[in-house]
Chain A
Amino acid sequence: DVKVTQSSRYLVKRTGEKVFLECVQDMDHENMFWYRQDPGLGLRLIYFSYDVKMKEKGDIPEGYSVSREKKERFSLILESASTNQTSMYLCATAGGTGTDTQYFGPGTRLTVL
């Protein structure tokens, strides 16, 4: 079974703090994704990565950056957290073919005070 783990289930940070959300997968998948989930808005893609050291902007990259130094780890960084970044953050991975399923982690619920 694919296992996708996220560093925290719940996180509380203060406005202006730098926040790191970590995602680790154990299936040697090339593709990794970060989404945020908000009521009424569904899932919105922040960034994704096709390979180590590669990244692509999604639909809402503003205020975020990412890092992928190793294949199994994809980090989402909030350079200076703001209250409008309070959300559920979901990481996902997928293999390399066009029909491949995405596998999701359990999510991190981030609250920025």
Chain B
Amino acid sequence: GDSVTQMEGPVTLSEEAFLTINCTYTATGYPSLFWYVQYPGEGLQLLLKATKADDKGSNKGFEATYRKETTSFHLEKGSVQVSDSAVYFCALLNSGNTPLVFGKGTRLSVIA
């Protein structure tokens, strides 16, 4: 079945450091890919998404490019802030009204 694998955390970075969180997927067909973020004490919210190969999703300085050849959707940010501390989930949606398939999440802590 479909699956998402993302790097295990926790990841601890200093403010203004470069961030990469790796995400790879296994799926039949042409899934849509998502990054969700969960801030402390809150539910998940969509950070960015891409619906086809070579699309780049971006939001709040975060970017991810849908790479079909490597089945990857790595999350990047050039300069993280303390306020980016959260848990990040990679997810895919394969077709129609099927549920999202989530990775296990990566906790990011940014220290000043």
Residues of chain A whose beta carbon lies under 8 Å from any beta carbon of chain B:
4, 30-31, 33, 40-43, 45, 48, 50, 58, 90, 92, 94, 96, 98-107
In the complex, A100→B95 CA distance in Å?
10
Residues of chain B whose beta carbon lies under 8 Å from any beta carbon of chain A:
32, 34, 36, 42-46, 49, 51, 89, 93-97, 99-100, 102-105
Q: Is the CB of A43 within 8 A of B93?
A: no
Residue of B nearest to A41 (CB): B104
- Measured between beta carbons, the chain A residues less than 8 angstroms from B34 are 101
Q: Is the CB of B89 within 8 A of A42?
A: yes
Q: Is the CB of A45 within 8 A of B99?
A: yes
- Measured between beta carbons, the chain B residues less than 8 angstroms from A103 are 46
- Do A50 and B42 contact each other (CB < 8 Å), given the known contacts A42-B102, A42-B104, A101-B34? no
In the complex, A33→B101 CA distance in Å?
12
- Measured between beta carbons, the chain B residues less than 8 angstroms from A30 are 97
A106 is contacted by which of B42, B89, B94, B99 (Cβ under 8 Å)?
B42
Residue of B nearest to A106 (CB): B43
Determine how close the nearest CB of chain A comes to the CB of B79; give it in whole angstroms.
Answer: 26
Determine how close the nearest CB of chain B comes to the CB of A27; give it in whole angstroms.
Answer: 14
B96 is contacted by which of A4, A43, A98, A106 (Cβ under 8 Å)?
A98
Q: Is the CB of A105 within 8 A of B104?
A: no
Known: A94-B97, A99-B93. 8 other contacts (CB 8 A): A58-B99, A98-B95, A99-B32, A102-B100, A103-B46, A104-B45, A106-B42, A107-B42
